[in-house]
Structure 1
Amino acid sequence: MLTVKDLVKYFPVTGGVFKRKVADVHAVDGVSFSVGRGETLGLVGESGCGKSTLGRTIAALYDATSGSVRFDGTDLTYFSEKEMKPYRRRIQMIFQDPFESLNSRHSVGEIIEEPLVIHGIGDGPARRKRVGELLSTVGLPQTAANRFPHEFSGGQRQRIGIARAIASSPELLICDEPVSALDVSIQSQIINLLLDLQEEMGLTTLFIAHDLAVVRLISDHVAVMYLGKIVEQTDADTIYKTPLHPYTQALISAIPVPDPGAVSNRIILEGDVPSPIHPPSGCRFHTRCSHVMEICRATEPEFADQGDGHMVACHLYEGKS
C-alpha cells in the first residue's frame, strides 16, 4: 500500500541581510520502508528525530527534497496540488494537538463535514447524516455537531479529529503522535478506538510516537528513527524481545515495568541529540553510543537484514547477516 524509497526532506536555513541559504536542516535523510495493506507500522524515536516531518512529507503536506513516495503503486512524490487532490481523499492524517488542528471558529459538524464538501461526497442532508454517524462511531453524541471545539476535553477533541480523518473513508491513515498530548487514562481509549477503526475499515496505518509502550499495542511492525534516519526495523514482537541497535536497546530499557520490586536495567544515553543542521559523520548515533568504534565515526553503516527481515544499521552486526 505504501512504499517510501530514499526519502529526503531538508529545510533551508537562511542568514545575513539578504536572507541567503547558509545551511540545511537534515530533517529526513534517506528513509526507506514499506507498509502492507491493512498493516500498521509504528515509527518511534526521540523528539526532533524527524518522525513528524516524515509523516507530513508522505502526506504531501511538505514537498520532498528527493526520493519517492508510492501509494497503491502510484508515485505521488512530485504531484501538483490538482493531481494530488483525488489521493487526499484516500490519505488522511490525525495530528498531535487536537486543539490546534481544529478550527475554533467552526462547529464540530462543520469541521467533520469539510472533507465531504471538499471531495464532493453527498449532498447537504447526506453529509449531515454522515456527520452524525461519524460522531457515533468515535463515541460522541450526535448533538456534539452543534458545539465548538473549546467546549470539549482533550480526549473528546481528538475523537473529533479522528472523525474528520475517517470522514472520506481513507485507505491510509497517518497518526502523528495522536495520544501524546492526552492523559494516560484517555490514551488507552483512543488506542482502542483506532484499533477498532482499523479492523472495521481495513485501514493501513503509519503510527508515529515516541512512547514504545504505546506503539507495541497497535503496531504489526516497528521502525526506530534517529536524527533523520531509520536505524532498525522489524516486527513488533521481535523488536521488543531482541532489539539489536544500541539506540533501540536504550529506548526499550526506558519502558516502565509495573513491578516496584523489579531490578532496573535502564540504559542511560549521555548527551543530547546532535543538531540536524550539522549531523555527525559516519553513524549518526556514534556520539552517544557506548559501543562506538573508529569505523563508526568515519563510515555510515549499511541498513542490512540480520535474518527474518530484521533490518538494522550498525557496524556491530556487519558480516553477521
Structure 2
Amino acid sequence: MMRQTDAVKAVDGVSLQIASGETLGLVGESGCGKSTLGKAIVRLEDPTTGSIGFDGKDITRAGTSAMRPVRRELQMIFQDPVESLNARHSVRELLEEPFAIHRVGTPAERRKWVEELLERVGLPAASADRYPFEFSGGQRQRIGIARAIALKPKMIICDEPVSALDVSVQSQVLNLLMELQQEMGLSYLFIAHDLAVVKHISDRVAVMYLGKIVELASSDAIYQRPKHAYTKALLSAIPHPDPTRVVDRVLLEGDVPSPIDPPKGSAFGHRISHPRYEETIGKDLPLVEIEPGHWVAADPCCLDEADWKQAAKLV
C-alpha cells in the first residue's frame, strides 16, 4: 500500500475566464504551474479540486465518452513538436488522425482536407507524404498547428508554442496564430515565459508565481502600469532593441521557493526577504480589482505603498 507523505499544489486557487475570440496570455518562470494549468483545462491532467467549465458545460469529471465531442472544440499546441508528432507516421497520417477518430469525412475528403490544412499553415501540399524529422522546428510547429485546427475548434491552449524556435521564426508563427484567430474566431490561452512574445498576441495577461495568479489585467495595463513587484521584474528583463538605452533592470534575489514546501506567507516576499513578510504569514492574499479590470494580489511585500493602501481597503 502506497502512503502519501506530501502533496504539491502545482496550481493553487487559480480562477480564469476567457471570452470567445480572446487571447489570454499566461506568463511566469519555469515551474510556476503554467503548463499544468493548460493540461488540466484540456483534461490531460485531472484536477484534485475546483471546476473546469467550457462553453457552458462542466467538464471537470467528464468521462471519455462525454469528453469526445468536447475534444473537437478544445485543442492544444505543445511546446516541443518533436515530442508531440509521432516520427513513425507521415504528416498525412498525423493530420488525418483527428478526422478518423471523430469519424469525419470519407478517405478522399480527408486527403483533400490534409492538403488544404498544410497550405493554410504555409506548407506545400506535397509535404503530406514526408515525415516530421524531414522538417525544421518552425515547420514542425506549423504541422502541430494544422493538427490543432483540423476539427475547427473554438479554443486552443498554446503551451509555449514558440519558445523552442528562432526569433525570426517566432514572429512568423505568432502572425499565423493571429491570422487563424481572425478567420476562425478562436480563443487562445497563450502560455509563455517571455513577456515580449505575450505582448504581441494577447488581449489580457495573467502573471503566475508559484501556482497562483498574482496580477491580471489588459495587455496595455500590464505593460504600462504594472502593480506587482514580480510583474515589474519580468518586464525589466525584456531586451530593448536600442543598445544605448539605459534600462532600470530589477534583479531578483534568492531562488524560487519549492512547491513541495512553499512559504507560509507571501511567496515572492519570502524570496526577496521583504521586511513585511512576517505580516503575511498565514494570511490569504486575494486578488483585488485595484483599477477597473486590473486585478492584483493584495500583498504588502509586492505593492508600492500607495497601491497597498488601496488594495488593503478592498480585501
TM over 0.5: yes
In 2, the alpha carbon distance for the partners of 1:186 and 1:20 equals 47
2:272 equivalent in structure 1: 289
1:104-253 aligned within 5 A: 104-253=87-236
Contact 1:283 1:298 in 2 (8 A): no
1:259-274 aligned within 5 A: 259-274=242-257
- Among 266, 284, 305, the alignment partner of 2:289 is 305
In 2, the alpha carbon distance for the partners of 1:72 and 1:19 equals 38
Contact 2:298 2:312 in 1 (8 A): no
2:64 equivalent in structure 1: 81
One-letter code of the match for 1:247? Y
One-letter code of the match for 1:319? A
One-letter code of the match for 2:291? G
Give the structure with the higher percent helix.
2
1:42 equivalent in structure 2: 25
Cα drift, residue 289 of structure 1: 3.4
Identify unmatched segments of 5+ residues in structure 2: 301-307
Contact 1:283 1:300 in 2 (8 A): no
Contact 2:138 2:165 in 1 (8 A): yes
What TM-score do the two structures reach when normalised by structure 1? 0.92
Structure 1: which 4+ aligned runs deviate by more than 6 Å? none
Deviations 1:232-291 (A, max 9, x none): 000000000010011001001111111111112110111111111111112221222365
Give the structure with the higher percent strand.
1
In 1, the alpha carbon distance for the partners of 2:106 and 2:19 equals 34
Identify unmatched segments of 5+ residues in structure 1: 1-17
Query: Percent identity of the aligned residues?
Result: 60
- Secondary structure at 1:272 match in 2: coil
CA spacing shift, 1:248–1:133, aligned 2, 3 Å = same
In 2, the alpha carbon distance for the partners of 1:268 and 1:296 equals 23
Cα drift, residue 308 of structure 1: 0.8
Say yes or no: does 1:314 pair with 2:307: no
Contact 1:286 1:297 in 2 (8 A): no
- Among 22, 28, 32, the alignment partner of 2:11 is 28
Deviations 1:121-142 (A, max 9, x none): 1110001100000000000000
Deviations 1:122-170 (A, max 9, x none): 1100011000000000000001000000000000000000000000100
What TM-score do the two structures reach when normalised by structure 2? 0.94
Contact 1:212 1:252 in 2 (8 A): yes
Contact 2:254 2:272 in 1 (8 A): no
One-letter code of the match for 1:217? H
- Secondary structure at 2:6 match in 1: strand
